[in-house]
Structure 1
């Protein structure tokens, strides 16, 4: 009887043991390594160095990953915390917006922080801003020299208007016709005001302009009511 009972228990363990083990949940700890206006007076504009120094302690605490703020140069350099990106390719190694480093630190300090955290077995989660840039050029998008020297890099002829990285050609000046507008080159030579919904052009009437099925591109008014798009007759004449 005892042998039969032992055989039953052993069979149960062999059958259900692997299943129970497979259901074990492995939980990971992620530390948000900043707050909305992060700053440390002992590491002024060197937040990366601060996290570097914390790495061994974070490892001992069982932290698996550290979430860091956006690191590109912002419109106010060291005064912005990452969410007003000016140049996504400036990680604190270019003199722009009145400073070389960012609030997070220099590019070298940033890369060193990543290396030290990785050496301690801690992953780095980079927060990013993908849907806008800020603090550059004129408010209307007109081409020509930029009167504000902190908005763009200096050239021999003065200062050039900032343009999005997708532009292969500058933004046309206000009043340009459809041909000038259509001549813009680049991976995506349009602005957000060239799309609906937008306040400059009503799309709430008519079957084709109903809110649910309305057009994506705006061909009404000046092609976006942004001050430098073409008049719709000129634009549409290019694409009959």
Structure 2
């Protein structure tokens, strides 16, 4: 049995998983989940993820949900494939990768995700974005990116001078964010901008980004 990913390619969390699978050069099957029909809330899918959210990864007898847990598993199991995203041979570097993956999930993601939701998902539902929510989270995100700008002035990537899981986790939400008016937050910080241009131009992510068409007319 090969690796199966249950999800949709436009989804930020699914694309996070697809990116690492491409980065590792792995063969996998993307099994589409019909979100509009509520397939993710039906018993067959809930048996894979009781929270009814995509993606889910199946690798033989193992079933995993939560995209960051999936990427950590893939990075560990296939650490010898392609780029070592967890720096398993260097305890200090590995610890820094963990620090900056936590920063992404605890500081960066809570600020950027509501902005992307308001600008891209809300209009798709025929509703009007809440500018107050956007403004409040742009303010939070600016503070996080100030820290990144300082960090990236001394290292090429977040955990050090090497591309890691910490950088990869930022790709999908930032990709959509850069299509919003808030993109200036990245572009006006030279080190953050250079980092973004670097990580988003990696072949693995470029493959995934081709299908990330949310909000496109």
Band the TM-score falls in, shorter-chain normalisation: under 0.3
Q: TM-score scaled to structure 2, two decimals?
A: 0.21
Q: Which has the larger radius of gyration?
A: 1
Question: How high is the TM-score relative to the length of structure 1?
Answer: 0.20
Whose helix fraction is larger, Structure 1's or Structure 2's? 2
Higher RCO structure, 1 or 2 (CA under 8 Å, sep 6+): 2
